Structure 1
């Protein structure tokens, strides 16, 4: 029979390493300082969420929405095919993205318009 072992310590160690590397790469922090900050962040996360089962989403919806927004921003009314090739999606998918982002933009503007009326 295999013994159950928690992956918790491995997760915290891995988290610490990833944070330290990111600090060195992204903000040019000195390695020892980055390791210290990373350990502090990991300790705080463990204190705050320790003992809970956590699920880390892969963030695909955020990445896709960024991509969709970029497609919409690059759309000029006639470049559907060009965008489909550039982003490796179907022509129908480009139409769907443009329609969805446009609908979202209209809804956002309408909410803003009504919000300004209630502020007066």
Structure 2
């Protein structure tokens, strides 16, 4: 079933989800086109079954993106290997510094958030 045929048979959001899922499966997992389309439709059907009828907000996913490549950079950072990480991940040295600073800030906020969670309960 081609993308145009699929588009006419379902709500636009679900069709778009199915098409993007199929494209990701082909590009990232090497799944054959027809099988990827079938799996994309299955994912869209499951999301419709799980979240159908609800208004769903999709955040931009900045912290999610951070938690993938950027988290890998941060995890491999040893305090002196910024240049090596820039080469390994194909980013600028300045970008490595920004990533390390951002992940540190996120870690600090996460840890400090936990320090004050029960403070209101004590009053």
- Give 1:44 deviation, angstroms: 6.8
TM-aligned CA distance change 1:99 to 1:60, over 3 Å:
closer
Matches within 5 A, 1:17-56: 18=22, 38=42, 42=45, 45=48, 48=52
**Considering only CA atoms, is the larger Rg found in Structure 1 or Structure 2?**
1
SS of 1:115's equivalent in the other structure is coil
- Give 1:58 deviation, angstroms: 8.9
TM-aligned CA distance change 1:101 to 1:60, over 3 Å:
closer
Alignment match of 2:18 (pick from 15, 18, 22): 15
Matches within 5 A, 1:30-109: 38=42, 42=45, 45=48, 48=52, 62-109=64-111
SS of 1:9's equivalent in the other structure is coil
Query: Could you tell me the TM-score, scaled by structure 1's length?
Result: 0.55
Counterpart Cα distance in 1 of 2:7 and 2:57? 13
Counterpart Cα distance in 1 of 2:118 and 2:8? 49
**Structure 1 unaligned blocks of 5 or more:** 1-5, 26-30
Over the residues paired in the alignment, what is the CA RMSD in angstroms? 4.5
Counterpart Cα distance in 1 of 2:119 and 2:62? 36
Match of 2:32 in 1: none
